[in-house]
C-alpha cells in the first residue's frame, strides 16, 4: 500500500489529472504458467507535463504502455484502474474504447521501421485514423495529413512517398504525425529514438518537446536511457521487474538517485568530462530478471551492490525519499538525503550544487 500520495510541486492543478493509473497489475497467461509483467504500478500525468519511464528489458514498461489503451493480447489479465480524463479504460465498453484509442491517447511505437505498412503511401497511413474516427472525409483527411507532416518538419509533398523512400529519422517523424492525427490529449512514446543517430535523436526529441508545449499535451516517454529522459521530462519513474522502484523530479532522480538500481542505470551512461569514469565502465552483475522467475524478497537484491540480509526476504514498498520523491529501498529513511558514496561513488562524481 502506498501510504503517501505524491504532490505535484511545480503547478497547482485543478481537476483530475489527465492520466491516473492506480495499482495496475498485468499478468500474461494463467494458472501455473502465469507471468506477472506489471505488479502494482501507480502513475499520474497532468496535461502539459512529461513523465519519463526508464527501465530495461523485462521490466514491464512496454506492457504498461500497451495496457493504457488495452492493446494487450487476450491472454493478458489486467486489474486496477486506468483513469484517462476520469474514465476507467479497463471498464470501458468496446465502442467507447475504440473512440478513445487515438483520439484520447495515442502511441508512437517502438521500431518505426516495422510499424509502417510498406505498401501504402505515408499520406494514406496518416489519414487512416482520421477516417476511421469519422472526423473528416477523404479529401479533408488528406489535407490534414499534409498539415501534420508540416508540423513534424517534413514537406507536405512527401505524403505521396512510400516508407522505404524515407530515412529512419523521417519515418519516426511520420509516426509522430500519425500519433497526432486525431488530436489526442496524451501521447505515449515507446522508445522513440532508440535506433536513431545522436543528431537525429536530438532533432526528434526537440520536435516532441515543441509539439507537447504548443498543444498542451501530456507525454509519457519510455526509454532505457536515463540521461535522455532527464533532459526531456519533468518527472521520472524507474521500473524494475514490473514495479516502479523510484520516482521523482527528473533531474533529481538522474543525478542523485535514492535507489541503487536507478543509480546504476544512470552510471551506465557516463558523462563526458567526468574523469572518474575514464577506463571505469560501471554496470551491474547478472542480468535483468526473467518475469517468470523473480527472486524472492526485493527483486533487485541479487544484483544490488548495497544489499543487506533483509533484502533477500522482505520486499520493499515505495517510501517517501524527499519532496515528491519515492524510492523502494530499505536504505531510504523517510525524509533524509542520500548519503554520499552510498552506491559506489556514483553520486560523488556527479554531485551538483
Partner 1 sequence: MTTTPPAPLLSAQSLEVAFPGRRGAATARAVDGVDLDIRPGEIVALVGESGCGKTTLARSLLGLVPPTAGRVTFGGEPLDYAGRALKAYRKRVQLVLQDPSGSLNPRHTVYDAVAEGLRIHGYAGDERAAVAEALSRAGLRPPERFFLRHPHELSGGQRQRVVIAGALVLEPELIVADEPVASLDASVRGEILALLLRLRDELGLSALVVTHDLGLAWNIADRVAVMYLGRIVETGDVEQILTAPRHPYTQALLSVLPEADGDPVILTGEPPDPSKVPSGCRFHARCQVLASGEAERAGVADACRGQDLPVLDGGGAAQVACHWAAATTQAPAAG
**Chain contacts with partner 1 (rule: CB under 8 A):** 56-57, 167-170, 197-203, 206, 224-228, 230-231, 261, 264-265, 267-275, 277-285, 287-288, 303
Q: Which C-beta is closer to partner 1: that of 177 or that of 238? A: 238
Q: Which C-beta is closer to partner 1: that of 96 or that of 164? A: 164
Nearest approach in angstroms of CB 120 to partner 1 is 23
Q: Which C-beta is closer to partner 1: that of 33 or that of 57? A: 57
Q: Which C-beta is closer to partner 1: that of 99 or that of 269? A: 269
Nearest approach in angstroms of CB 270 to partner 1 is 5
Taking residue 67's Cβ as centre, other Cβ atoms within 10 Å add up to: 24
Nearest approach in angstroms of CB 350 to partner 1 is 9
Nearest approach in angstroms of CB 312 to partner 1 is 19
Taking residue 121's Cβ as centre, other Cβ atoms within 10 Å add up to: 17
Q: Which C-beta is closer to partner 1: that of 31 or that of 273? A: 273
Distances (CA, A) of 82 to 216, 271, 329, 353: 21, 37, 26, 38
For residue 340, give every residue at least 6 positions away whose Cβ sits within 8 Å of its Cβ, in sequence order, or none: 347, 348, 351
What span, in angstroms and rounded, lies between the C-alpha atoms of 47 and 85?
10
What span, in angstroms and rounded, lies between the C-alpha atoms of 175 and 116?
8
Taking residue 285's Cβ as centre, other Cβ atoms within 10 Å add up to: 8
Q: Which C-beta is closer to partner 1: that of 170 or that of 252? A: 170
Nearest approach in angstroms of CB 90 to partner 1 is 30
Taking residue 213's Cβ as centre, other Cβ atoms within 10 Å add up to: 12
Nearest approach in angstroms of CB 223 to partner 1 is 10
Dihedral of CA 11/17/18/22: which sign?
Answer: positive
Amino acid at each position: 500500500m502506498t501510504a503517501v500520495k505524491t504532490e505535484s510541486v511545480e503547478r497547482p492543478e485543478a481537476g483530475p489529472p489527465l492520466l491516473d493509473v492506480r495499482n495496475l497489475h498485468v499478468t500474461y497467461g494463467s494458472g501455473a504458467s502465469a507471468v506477472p509483467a506489471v505488479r502494482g504500478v501507480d502513475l499520474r500525468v497532468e496535461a502539459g507535463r512529461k513523465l519519463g519511464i526508464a527501465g530495461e528489458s523485462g521490466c514491464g514498461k512496454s506492457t504498461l504502455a500497451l495496457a493504457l489503451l488495452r492493446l494487450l493480447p487476450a491472454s493478458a489479465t489486467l486489474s486496477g484502474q486506468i483513469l484517462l480524463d476520469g474514465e476507467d479504460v479497463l471498464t470501458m465498453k468496446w465502442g467507447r474504447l475504440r473512440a478513445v484509442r487515438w483520439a484520447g491517447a495515442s502511441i508512437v511505437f517502438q521500431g518505426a521501421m516495422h510499424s509502417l505498412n510498406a505498401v501504402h503511401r505515408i499520406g494514406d497511413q496518416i489519414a487512416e485514423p482520421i477516417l476511421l474516427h469519422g472526423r473528416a472525409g477523404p479529401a479533408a483527411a488528406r489535407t490534414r495529413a499534409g498539415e501534420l507532416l508540416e508540423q513534424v518538419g517534413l514537406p507536405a509533398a512527401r505524403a505521396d512517398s512510400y516508407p522505404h523512400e524515407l530515412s529512419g529519422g523521417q519515418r519516426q517523424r511520420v509516426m509522430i504525425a500519425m500519433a497526432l492525427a486525431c488530436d489526442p490529449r496524451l501521447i505515449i512514446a515507446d522508445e522513440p529514438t532508440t535506433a536513431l543517430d545522436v543528431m537525429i535523436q536530438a532533432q526528434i526529441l526537440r520536435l516532441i518537446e515543441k509539439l507537447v508545449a504548443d498543444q498542451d499535451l501530456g507525454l509519457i516517454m519510455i526509454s532505457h536511457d536515463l540521461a535522455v529522459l532527464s533532459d526531456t521530462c519533468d518527472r521520472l519513474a524507474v521500473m524494475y521487474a514490473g514495479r516502479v522502484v523510484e520516482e521523482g523530479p527528473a533531474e533529481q532522480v538522474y543525478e542523485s538517485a535514492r535507489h541503487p538500481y536507478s543509480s546504476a542505470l544512470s552510471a551506465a551512461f557516463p558523462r563526458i568530462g567526468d574523469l572518474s569514469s575514464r577506463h571505469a565502465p560501471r554496470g551491474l552483475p547478472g542480468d535483468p530478471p526473467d518475469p517468470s522467475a523473480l527472486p524472492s524478497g526485493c527483486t533487485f537484491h541479487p544484483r544490488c551492490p548495497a544489499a543487506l540480509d533483509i533484502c533477500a526476504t522482505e520486499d520493499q514498498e515505495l517510501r517517501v525519499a524527499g519532496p515528491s520523491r519515492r524510492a523502494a529501498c530499505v536504505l531510504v529513511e523517510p525524509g533524509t538525503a542520500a548519503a554520499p558514496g552510498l552506491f559506489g561513488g556514483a553520486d560523488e562524481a556527479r554531485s551538483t550544487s
